Chains A and B, each alone.
Chain A
Amino acid sequence: MMLSGWGRFPRQECRTSRPRDEAELRAALAQGGAIARGNGRSYGDSALSPRNTVDMRGWSRMLDFEPDTGRLVAEAGVVLGDVVAAFLPRGWFPSVTPGTKFVTLGGMIAADVHGKNHHRDGSFGAFVDWIDVMGPDGEVTRCSRDESPDLFHWTLGGMGLTGVILRAAFRLRRVESAWIRQTMVPAPGLDAAIDAMEAARDSTYSVAWIDCLSRGEALGRSLVMLGEHAAWDDLDRTRRDAPFVIPERRRLRVPMDLPSVVLGGASLRAFNALYYRNGARKRGESLVDWDGFFYPLDAIHDWNRIYGRRGFAQFQCVLPLDASRHGMRALLRAISDAGTGSFLAVLKRLGPGGAGMSFPMEGYTLALDFPVTEANLRLLDGLDRIVLDHGGRFYLAKDSRMTRATLRRADPRADLFQRLRQELRMTPSFASAQSERLGL
């Protein structure tokens, strides 16, 4: 079957199976060269294996919940949005969530995803208590910080390359409502945006939507959004009656692949300027619902089709704190000069890093999309160099085109991971198109 990641680039013909139980999964793994696939929300080729892609979406049962601690045990194919749907009405919310709720538990663990609270709470892995992993021989190992700690350490952020995650236990956080108290801080340039996020280190959530096409003084102009879960006391009378109920959202659908002219430089620049001005007018506090705050893009189904048939590549890097201002300026200047890129990019403060091949490190991360064109692929190579010059690294869940050499210069852990995989006979049992490209 023809498969791709969310960026629809690259696309590959993949032999796919959809095992229902451990016996069927074991049989699938025996074919070798296997990679687990969740909901395909990673952007590139992380969840593709032409030889043996194992669709885990059938493993979608919630198995146990402890109402005292908020600990949920679930199978790897459970979708985050279903967790919210089941447990928010009971006063629980995911401790860490990426910018879409259409991800599986397995995908969140394998990419060790981060959310808008990474600077305070760390990544998803920090809330995972144990993971059941099926290894190369079909044996299932329960790993945790105490049992098989190495497997646990490298499975978090291991992009499916340590085995197939079957189920896991992870902790939700208590909330009093479905609402977020949002504070919007317009930042006229990059320094102001970083200053605002540094000043907001105590905020639970912080993120900046950055206009990548602004130049000169306005380079890096952003809308910085801070957020706190609203307590019951923060709600007005009508909302207090049903604190977990939010109005139904309208869903939009992208009807077809848009021709790329729609996204030409001029219209992008105009759109971004408008977005900033509109946003800046809404400065200050407001109450927004969880869906709008965490998952603004989920309201537009298939939004990945707006970039046209060739698909797009997402670029996400993190720069160490002390190199962030300088490095981000260099990246933004290169992007703005090229005049392409996405509507908006995301800039975010990250806290200290965690497990295995996990992406985050203390500093700033920038993420944005580029339609796949020859010019953009060259631009991306240039951005890679800027990141390397500033001691940064790249997010494997977003990557579709980096080279082996770039990965190794960015990330000394890559060699370690590769060797460990060989020692534990995870190669050649588990491999993705990405791991082959990157030599992991």
Chain B
Amino acid sequence: MTRPAVLILGGRSDIGLAIARRFAADGHPIQLAARDAAGLEADRRDIELRHRVAVSLHDFDVLDTGSHAALLDGLPALPGIAVCVVGLMGEQAESERDPLAAARVMRSNYEGPALILAELANRFEARGSGTLVGVSSVAGERGRRKNYVYGSAKAGFTAFLSGLRNRLAGKGVHVVTVLPGFVATRMTAGMDLPAKLTAAPEEVAASVERAVARARDVVYVRPVWALVMGIIRAIPESRFKRMDI
């Protein structure tokens, strides 16, 4: 039985590679799309050697929205599953000072990811099948002073995914929203994260695979985050604005 190809947008990210390995272990061919894709040659060989699936590399810049269609045209096949893990945390302080920096964070977390998934959505819809996975963040659940530029872009992405899911329901195309809490990756390297709230990239990958298999709509990677965010959302704005969390 041949399994559908899995496209990873943001193929260099720790989470993206973990997702690729997970699907490869189940026999799915993998398409890794990333900036400077040639630099992923060792990862390509690793996945091919371990899992005996075909892995292809594709240059991809999420901000170069004009090239999205060409990227998809250049894939060996339209994938069955597409996962977007592209994201950019940026520095909150810099985003406050420099509008260009803020715009880059907004575009990298919202505009770019939304538009590439929109392009895929149209093709999946025409085919009548497929699963789109967007990796957003709990940071989009409520704006906080520490990272609201990033958080607001993730909020936009989360809302976009929700609308896309609504549009495609009943058309054979499913949309999964993933809301990881803390994950130990390059993005968070050097931060002092609480162990109980911090997932390994492999855990994110496992929950993505499960969510795709069971056609879940919205998943938090560690269940405790649903609780944490429930509480944070419930705090009245008049109190929240004075808090430092």
A residues lining the B interface (CB < 8 Å):
18, 20, 60-65, 75, 82, 85-86
Q: How far is the CA of A281 from the CA of B186 in the complex (A)?
A: 54
Q: Which of A18, A20, A75, A82 meets B50, CB within 8 Å?
A: A82
Given known A-B contacts A61-B42, A61-B43, A63-B42, A86 and B186 have beta carbons under 8 A apart: no
Can you give 24 contacting A-B residue pairs, CB < 8 Å? A18-B189, A20-B186, A60-B46, A61-B42, A61-B43, A61-B45, A61-B46, A62-B45, A62-B46, A62-B49, A62-B50, A63-B42, A63-B45, A63-B46, A63-B49, A64-B45, A64-B49, A65-B49, A75-B42, A82-B50, A85-B50, A86-B49, A86-B50, A86-B51
Q: Which residues of A contact B42 (CB under 8 A)?
A: 61, 63, 75
Q: Mark B16-50, 1 if CB is under 8 A from A, else 0.
A: 00000000000000000000000000110110011
A20-B186, A61-B46, A75-B42 are known contacts; what are 4 more A-B pairs with Cβ within 8 Å? A61-B45, A62-B49, A62-B50, A85-B50
Q: Which residues of A contact B45 (CB under 8 A)?
A: 61-64
Q: How far is the CA of A20 from the CA of B50 in the complex (A)?
A: 20
Q: Which residues of A contact B43 (CB under 8 A)?
A: 61
Q: How far is the CA of A368 from the CA of B50 in the complex (A)?
A: 35
Q: Which residues of B contact A61 (CB under 8 A)?
A: 42-43, 45-46
Q: Which residues of B contact A60 (CB under 8 A)?
A: 46
Number of residues on chain B facing chain A (CB within 8 A): 9
Q: How far is the CA of A102 from the CA of B39 in the complex (A)?
A: 28
CB contacts under 8 Å to A, within B56-109, are none
Q: How far is the CA of A65 from the CA of B52 in the complex (A)?
A: 12
* Least distance between B49 CB and chain A CB atoms (Å): 4
CB contacts under 8 Å to A, within B152-195, are 186, 189
CB nearest to B50 among chain A residues:
A86
* Least distance between B26 CB and chain A CB atoms (Å): 14
Q: How far is the CA of A82 from the CA of B25 in the complex (A)?
A: 12
Chain A CB within 10 Å, residue with most, of B42, B43, B51: B42
Q: How far is the CA of A245 from the CA of B186 in the complex (A)?
A: 37
Q: How far is the CA of A61 from the CA of B189 in the complex (A)?
A: 20
Q: How far is the CA of A20 from the CA of B190 in the complex (A)?
A: 14
Chain B CB within 10 Å, residue with most, of A20, A61, A63: A61
Q: Which residues of B contact A20 (CB under 8 A)?
A: 186
Q: How far is the CA of A85 from the CA of B46 in the complex (A)?
A: 13
CB nearest to A59 among chain B residues:
B42
CB nearest to A167 among chain B residues:
B42
Q: How far is the CA of A64 from the CA of B42 in the complex (A)?
A: 9
Q: Which residues of B contact A85 (CB under 8 A)?
A: 50
Q: How far is the CA of A20 from the CA of B189 in the complex (A)?
A: 12
Q: Which residues of B contact A75 (CB under 8 A)?
A: 42
What 6 pairs across the A-B complex have the smallest Cβ distances?
A61-B46, A62-B49, A86-B50, A61-B42, A62-B46, A63-B45
* Least distance between B13 CB and chain A CB atoms (Å): 12
Q: How far is the CA of A206 from the CA of B233 in the complex (A)?
A: 63
* Least distance between B102 CB and chain A CB atoms (Å): 28
Q: How far is the CA of A64 from the CA of B48 in the complex (A)?
A: 10
Q: Which residues of A contact B49 (CB under 8 A)?
A: 62-65, 86
Q: Which residues of B contact A82 (CB under 8 A)?
A: 50
Q: Which residues of A contact B189 (CB under 8 A)?
A: 18
* Least distance between B53 CB and chain A CB atoms (Å): 12
CB nearest to A86 among chain B residues:
B50
Q: Which residues of B contact A65 (CB under 8 A)?
A: 49
* Least distance between A418 CB and chain B CB atoms (Å): 36
CB nearest to B42 among chain A residues:
A61
CB nearest to B46 among chain A residues:
A61
Q: How far is the CA of A89 from the CA of B143 in the complex (A)?
A: 50
CB nearest to A21 among chain B residues:
B39
Q: How far is the CA of A60 from the CA of B45 in the complex (A)?
A: 12
* Least distance between A294 CB and chain B CB atoms (Å): 20
Q: Which residues of B contact A18 (CB under 8 A)?
A: 189
Q: Which residues of B contact A62 (CB under 8 A)?
A: 45-46, 49-50
Q: Which residues of A contact B51 (CB under 8 A)?
A: 86
CB nearest to A63 among chain B residues:
B45
Q: How far is the CA of A132 from the CA of B86 in the complex (A)?
A: 33
Chain A CB within 10 Å, residue with most, of B45, B49, B186: B49
Q: Which residues of A contact B50 (CB under 8 A)?
A: 62, 82, 85-86
Q: How far is the CA of A62 from the CA of B46 in the complex (A)?
A: 5
Q: How far is the CA of A76 from the CA of B24 in the complex (A)?
A: 22
